[in-house]
């Protein structure tokens, strides 16, 4: 199309309009039309061959256009309308709960008897600085789950929790495998809200709460506390997933993916993989990370935080390695940093197109085939789920 447009421009914008084209055809250096046609056919066949080779290569490896789409998606996230100003300080827990310095990050070093300094330890994101003030008992010991879905959510977001309980969170047995959905909360915003959380916990028995301040900037702490719970309370589960509260999760497709032959049961992390993502240094951005917290210009390869799946041997490894990593507030990139420090890397899912981000409109057939989609509201989740699961007839 570009070549054709260029030729038309030459005809219209030559030295003397149509006379310019006439002079071109009468030039002694003019190439006969048959030769032009032959060259055009050759170039066309060459382009088709190159396209075919690129397509074959893309089946088994991340293609350039796929990476481009991921970068475009990331830039959309960076320019999202929910950008906020950086909080005045990185305070992560109240002084009356923990006897540690509140500035983020905090580091300590230790020495041995020969005065040789050991590697620096970073404590703020290390989950064993915090304690569980509400738990769900021995839910994993009584009925060991194949998959645990851990949902980080703010204490006041009851609507999101109720929507999940009515949809994918109510499924206890999926494709013959036991599944458990739990919600991770930080400290509530006052005594009244905390009392409501306690009542909700008695009613549903699916809330876990820890004593860190529940804010966006502390999402890395929240994620690491999830890893601590999985490592200490539910180590016998085969897989776990950290999934955001605004997600549509096709739980059947997720379990079917994990049941495929060849899916690893150790050192396995998968989801929508992000490569070569630049660190945001703009202070007005919600995703701003200062150089003193993360000096590199790009993040290590990681899985997008909307929902990533991992073998349940990894949480303990994440907890242990987190002591050696400077904490920063981009939780999914932080998990990617933990993987990198462990000498591991995320694995692409068998069908990459099943992990989706945003959609323009609901399509029953498409939602029957994917694993994740980000939604706009809890009501959307309920509406789409009911249509997909309750409406008679095949989805496609």
All domains of the chain in start order, with CATH: 121-390 (3.90.550.10)
Helices (H), 114-258: 139-142, 158-166, 191-204, 219-233, 251-258
Identify the pLDDT of residue 137: 81
Helix (H/G/I), strand (E/B), else coil: 370 = coil
175, 166 contact by CB (below 8 A): no
> Are 218 and 212 spatial neighbours (Cβ–Cβ below 8 Å)?
yes
* Helical (H) or strand (E) element with 107: strand 107-108
Give the per-residue pLDDT at 359: 82
Quick check: 318 and 338 in contact, CB under 8 A?
Answer: yes
Contact 125, 221 (CB under 8 A): yes
Q: How far is CA 139 from CA 232, 235, 352, 362, 377, in A?
A: 12, 12, 32, 35, 29
Give the pLDDT of the chain (396 residues) as one tens digit per residue.
333 333 333 333 333 333 333 333 344 444 455 555 666 677 777 776 676 665 544 444 443 433 444 444 444 444 433 333 333 233 333 332 222 223 333 333 333 333 334 445 656 788 888 999 999 988 898 889 999 999 999 999 999 999 999 999 999 999 999 999 999 999 998 999 999 999 999 999 999 999 999 999 899 999 999 999 999 999 999 999 999 999 999 999 999 999 999 999 999 999 999 999 999 999 999 899 999 999 999 999 999 999 999 999 999 999 999 999 999 999 999 999 999 999 999 999 999 999 999 888 999 999 999 999 999 999 999 999 999 999 999 999
User: Mapping DSSP to helix (H, G, I), strand (E, B) and coil, where does residue 115 land?
Assistant: coil
- In terms of Cα–Cα distance, which of 282, 60, 251 is closest to 148? 251
**Alpha-carbon distance 311 to 372, whole Å?**
18
Distance CA 266, CA 32 (A): 66
pLDDT of residue 285: 92
CA distances from 385 to 157, 250, 380 (A): 20, 9, 8
């Amino acid at each position: 199309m570009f070549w054709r447009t260029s030729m038309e421009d030459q005809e219209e914008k030559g030295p003397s309009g149509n006379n310019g084209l006439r002079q071109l055809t009468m030039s002694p250096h003019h190439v006969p039309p048959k030769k032009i046609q032959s060259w055009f056919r050759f170039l066309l066949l060459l382009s088709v061959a190159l396209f075919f080779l690129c397509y074959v290569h893309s089946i088994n490896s991340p293609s350039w256009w796929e990476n481009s789409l991921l970068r475009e998606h990331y830039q959309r996230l960076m320019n999202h309308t929910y950008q906020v100003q950086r909080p005045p300080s990185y305070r992560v827990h109240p002084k009356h709960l923990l006897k540690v310095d509140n500035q983020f990050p905090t580091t300590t070093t230790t020495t041995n008897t020969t005065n040789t300094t050991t590697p620096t330890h970073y404590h703020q994101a290390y989950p064993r600085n915090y304690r569980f003030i509400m738990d769900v008992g021995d839910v994993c010991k009584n009925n060991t789950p194949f998959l645990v879905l851990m949902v980080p959510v703010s204490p006041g977001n009851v609507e999101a929790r109720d929507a999940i309980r009515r949809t994918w969170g109510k499924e206890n047995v999926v494709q013959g495998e036991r599944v458990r959905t739990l919600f991770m909360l930080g400290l509530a915003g006052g005594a009244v809200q905390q009392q409501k959380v306690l009542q909700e916990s008695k009613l549903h028995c699916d809330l876990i709460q820890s004593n860190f301040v529940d804010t966006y900037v502390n999402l890395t702490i929240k994620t690491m506390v999830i890893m601590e719970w999985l490592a200490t309370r539910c180590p016998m589960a085969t897989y776990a997933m950290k999934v955001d509260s605004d997600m549509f999760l096709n739980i059947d497709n997720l379990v079917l993916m994990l049941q495929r032959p060849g899916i690893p049961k150790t050192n396995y992390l998968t989801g929508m993989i992000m490569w070569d993502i630049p660190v945001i240094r703009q202070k007005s951005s919600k995703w701003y990370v200062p150089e003193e917290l993360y000096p590199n210009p790009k993040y290590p390869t990681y899985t997008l935080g909307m929902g990533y799946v991992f073998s349940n041997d990894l949480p303990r490894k994440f907890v242990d390695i987190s002591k050696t990593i400077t904490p920063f507030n981009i939780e999914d990139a932080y998990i990617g940093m933990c993987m990198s420090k462990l000498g591991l890397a995320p694995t692409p899912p068998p069908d990459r197109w099943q992990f989706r981000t945003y959609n323009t409109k609901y399509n029953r057939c498409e939602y029957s085939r994917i694993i994740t989609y980000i939604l706009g509201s809890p009501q959307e989740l309920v509406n789409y789920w009911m249509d997909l699961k309750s409406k008679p007839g095949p989805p496609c």
